């Protein structure tokens, strides 16, 4: 390891070349959190929307809106994770929104069967998720999360000072508007 660039890249620590770079570890950890939070938020939101639609049932009057607020907070948290790792929101948007939405478009007859095959899912939640999937809500969430991650990646790239940039990367100067 006599090359100074290589020493800087691995931190000049013994055995550092064998470990994952810190940025990669952070991206993987944050992506796993986003991959867990996103389907939970979508399920809670779909269930909350289904419960809120039954306005005549006084016992569920506040449960549905409360679930919708909780789901919104969880999705906001997933979007905020893009600050730490833009790929996290992009991956979660692809896995839990864009891909299921495209599957619904390509094979709409099979999506209810696929959702119903998830073990432990109550029948009401099956119907709510299928309704959201067939109505494009899940695809919308996926595109929005992907867009948040993509925007965060572009902003991060633009805001990185040129001195810290990788060789060959071009950065536009910050403009006032």
- The structure's pTM equals 0.75
Place of tokens 């999360």: 145
Is 30 within 8 Å of 81 (Cβ atoms)? yes
Quick one: pLDDT band at residue 28, thresholds 50, 70, 90?
very high
Place of tokens 């506040």: 62
Supply 24's token pair. Answer: 């990669």
Is 127 within 8 Å of 43 (Cβ atoms)? no
Reference 169, options 153, 149, 152, 145; nearest CA is 153
Query: Going by C-beta distance under 8 Å and a sequence separation of 6 or more, which residues neighbour residue 78?
Result: 34, 37, 38, 41, 88, 89, 92, 145
> Percentages helix, strand, coil for the chain, rounded to the nearest 5?
75, 0, 25
Distance CA 105, CA 98 (A): 10
pLDDT 10s digits, 77-129: 999 999 999 999 999 999 999 999 999 999 998 888 888 888 888 888 888 99
Rg of the chain on CA atoms, in Å: 21
Distance CA 128, CA 119 (A): 16
Is 82 within 8 Å of 148 (Cβ atoms)? yes
pLDDT at 139 over 90: yes
Range among 15-19, 87-91, 171-175 with highest mean pLDDT value: 87-91
Region 126-134: what's the mean pLDDT?
91
């Amino acid at each position: 390891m006599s090359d100074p660039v290589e020493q800087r890249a691995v931190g000049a620590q013994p055995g550092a070349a064998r470990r994952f770079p810190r940025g990669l570890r952070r991206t993987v950890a944050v992506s796993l959190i986003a991959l867990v939070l996103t389907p939970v938020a979508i399920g809670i939101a779909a269930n909350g929307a289904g419960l809120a639609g039954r306005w005549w049932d006084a016992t569920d009057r506040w449960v549905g809106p409360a679930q919708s607020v909780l789901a919104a907070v969880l999705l906001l948290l997933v979007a905020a994770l893009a600050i730490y790792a833009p790929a996290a929101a992009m991956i979660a948007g692809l896995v839990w929104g864009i891909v299921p939405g495209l599957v619904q478009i390509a094979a709409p007859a099979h999506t209810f069967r696929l959702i119903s095959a998830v073990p432990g899912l109550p029948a009401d939640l099956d119907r709510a998720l299928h309704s959201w999937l067939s109505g494009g809500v899940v695809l919308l969430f996926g595109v929005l999360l992907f867009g948040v991650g993509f925007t965060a990646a572009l902003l991060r790239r633009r805001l990185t000072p040129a001195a810290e940039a990788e060789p060959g990367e071009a950065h536009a100067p910050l403009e006032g508007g």
